[in-house]
Structure 1
Amino acid sequence: MITEKIMSISPLTPMQQAFLFHKLAGGVDEGFLQVQYVIKGELNLPLLTDSWNRVIDKHDALRISIHYKDIQKPVQVIHEQSIIEIDFRNWRNFSEEEQRSRLEFHITSDKKKGLDFSKAPLMRVALMQLSEEKYHLIWSCHHISLDAWSAGIILNEVFQLY
């Protein structure tokens, strides 16, 4: 993940403040989202990564970081560029049972890990190859930067570019 120049700094919206409050309160982070897709067919990982990064470039909300430590009021920073790398895992040699177990473990541990709000983009993408032409994609993101409706639009844009 690479973050470069800052485009703007602004206060959090009331909704963002609420999500930050709940995250900092501890417990389950209700704003954390995991969107999962099974992809069937041949997959070009560099092209998929490029598609994600082109969509991130297009939308300011996908290039934000949130800062709240040692300042009076939390702010969102929009970065000029933020690059994501897909966490690719080749699980083709594991049995279906082992793949399910690993997938369940990944989903749980990914959610526990959460997102570091101080680093843009506020998302992760993991891709597990299950067979020659079957993949499981997990997009982890947060409501502080987009809502569920927008998440669907973002995914549609990624796959249109792909």
Structure 2
Amino acid sequence: ELADLFTTALTALTTHTHQPHTGGHTPTDFDLVHLDQHTIDTLEHHYPTLTDIWPLSPLQAGLLFHSEYTDHTLDTYTVQLTLDLHGPLDTTRLHHAAETLLHRHPNLRAAFTHTPDGHPIQIITDHTPLPWTQHDLTHQPPHQHPTTVEDILTTDRHTRFDMNTPPLLRYTLITRTPHHHHLVITNHHILLDGWSTPLLLHELLHLYTHHNDTTGL
């Protein structure tokens, strides 16, 4: 009788694994949250590159609530940092450094959503494209640069993040002259705080300086 039950279970498992779109995660893959298989299947449908699911800290839960509550106005938790870069800049290498940084840290690739019963969760994804925008002002009269830069910064600051779509981080590079650039790093506060932002900057500059060599990081 036990052998018959085993055979029946094995047959059912084999049939299931040979169906399309099966073979994903199970509840035992996620140690930090308690989710049933149906919920996991639903999340995998919306996030095909899902690699992990995390809970939120109390502060993150509060930030998510405020962001969703004010979804038609300026999100005051959108953080914008502008670096003035002077001297020759390899923009392609900087872009690659930012991409490497994103893919080195799973928490930077988090989407924030809810389970069907309303619990907030972080969805950690893989192979997340990095939002990167460049503006070349070298052909514009220099006296127009301040106004143009301010317009770019204002538009960026008022562009809300979709909390369900990772990453909640984007870069804008503004070139005023071949030797004067602004690097604008914009993120949602749910992703980075005052302690982690300097660490991100340090690693970004290390990756740029050392041509994406992660030795020493």
What is the TM-score normalised by the length of structure 2?
Answer: 0.68
Find 1:43's aligned residue among 82, 86, 89.
89
Rounded Cα–Cα distance in structure 1 between residues aligned with 2:186 and 2:206: 20
Rounded Cα–Cα distance in structure 2 between residues aligned with 1:75 and 1:51: 28
Change (3 A) 1:32 1:73: same
Rounded Cα–Cα distance in structure 2 between residues aligned with 1:8 and 1:70: 17
Asked if 2 retains the 8 angstrom alpha-carbon contact of 1:8 and 1:79, the reply is yes
Find 2:187's aligned residue among 136, 141, 154.
141
Which residue of 2 is the match for residue 105 of structure 1?
151
Q: Larger Cα Rg: Structure 1 or Structure 2?
A: 2
Rounded Cα–Cα distance in structure 2 between residues aligned with 1:80 and 1:31: 25
Change (3 A) 1:79 1:97: same
Look up the equivalent residue of 1:87 and give its one-letter code: T
Rounded Cα–Cα distance in structure 2 between residues aligned with 1:146 and 1:15: 12
Secondary structure at the aligned position of 1:82 is classed as coil
Rounded Cα–Cα distance in structure 1 between residues aligned with 2:206 and 2:48: 27
1:12 aligns with 2:56: yes
Task: Report 1 or 2 for greater relative contact order, CA contacts < 8 Å, sequence distance ≥ 6.
Answer: 1
Once superposed, what is the RMSD of the aligned Cα atoms?
1.9
Change (3 A) 1:95 1:70: farther
Asked if 2 retains the 8 angstrom alpha-carbon contact of 1:4 and 1:80, the reply is no
Consecutive unaligned residues of structure 1, counting only runs of 5 or more, are none
Asked if 1 retains the 8 angstrom alpha-carbon contact of 2:115 and 2:121, the reply is no
Change (3 A) 1:67 1:138: same
Matched residue pairs, number?
160
CA drift of 1:93 comes to: 1.8
Change (3 A) 1:113 1:96: same
Asked if 2 retains the 8 angstrom alpha-carbon contact of 1:4 and 1:82, the reply is no
Which residue of 2 is the match for residue 122 of structure 1?
168
Rounded Cα–Cα distance in structure 2 between residues aligned with 1:92 and 1:69: 48
1:85-116 CA-partner distances (Å, limit 9, x unpaired): 42011001223332111111111111211211
Rounded Cα–Cα distance in structure 1 between residues aligned with 2:97 and 2:158: 27
Look up the equivalent residue of 1:18 and give its one-letter code: G
Rounded Cα–Cα distance in structure 1 between residues aligned with 2:177 and 2:94: 18
Look up the equivalent residue of 2:84 and give its one-letter code: V
Asked if 2 retains the 8 angstrom alpha-carbon contact of 1:11 and 1:75, the reply is yes
Look up the equivalent residue of 2:53 and give its one-letter code: I
What is the TM-score normalised by the length of structure 1?
Answer: 0.89
When you count strand as a share of all residues, which structure comes out higher? 1
Bigger mean CA deviation after superposition, 124-133 or 67-76:
67-76
